[in-house]
């Protein structure tokens, strides 16, 4: 594939979110991310949100987020691992992909409850943390711009 500019490729309802093209499959991460994405998509649609499934296609790699909630302008990316390198990678991907959407709020959909350090990292970088807890989705909103860490 050779593209001059990144573009959005829209996914159908039956298209699998994982494994992402161009990435090495990680069975545990793929399974957990698929499960939380499916549940979150159903949750948003049940609340009447307009949600778009897509991939952001770039050259030579495929950067990918997972959902765009057009109702709230939130760009959502599922993330299984929350160690430092995984957070840095997720931050880079979601920040790069955000430029293709008008005024998006960025959100990471986590497969487990984040630690305080993870919430602090995401908040500082203006990324919302979302995770499933006791059957309900919990959100940690990002800090207002200019807030101290």
Q: What is the pLDDT of residues 86-101, one digit of tens each?
A: 899 889 888 888 888 8
The answer to whether 121 and 143 are in contact (CB under 8 A) is no
pLDDT of residue 130: 97
Within 8 A by CB and 6+ apart from 99, the residues are: none
Residues of the chain below pLDDT 70: 1-4, 6-7, 12-25, 57-63, 146-149
Strands (E), the chain: 7-10, 51-57, 67-69, 74-79, 105-110, 127-133, 136-140
Distances (CA, A) of 118 to 47, 58, 78, 105, 131: 27, 28, 14, 18, 12
Q: What is the pLDDT of residue 19?
A: 63
Which domains, from first to last, does the chain contain? 25-140 (3.40.1350.10)
Q: Per the confidence metrics, is the pTM higher than 0.75?
A: yes
Q: What is the pLDDT of residues 117-139, one digit of tens each?
A: 999 999 999 999 999 999 999 99
Write down the pLDDT at residue 2: 47
User: What is the bridge-based pairing of β-strands 7-10 and 136-140?
Assistant: unpaired
């Amino acid at each position: 594939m050779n593209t001059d500019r990144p573009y959005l490729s829209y996914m159908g309802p039956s298209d699998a979110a994982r494994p992402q093209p161009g990435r090495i499959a990680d069975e545990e991460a793929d399974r957990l991310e698929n499960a939380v994405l499916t549940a979150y998509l159903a949750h948003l649609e049940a609340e009447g949100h307009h949600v778009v499934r897509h991939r952001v296609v770039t050259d030579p790699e495929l950067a990918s987020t997972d959902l765009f909630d057009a109702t709230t302008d939130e760009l959502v990316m599922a993330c299984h691992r929350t160690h430092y390198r995984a957070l840095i990678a997720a931050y880079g991907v979601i920040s790069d992909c955000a430029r293709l959407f008008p005024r998006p709020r960025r959100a990471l959909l986590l497969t487990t409850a984040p630690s305080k350090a993870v919430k602090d990292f995401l908040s500082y970088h203006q990324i919302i943390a979302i995770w499933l807890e006791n059957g309900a989705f919990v959100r940690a909103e990002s800090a207002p711009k200019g807030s101290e860490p």
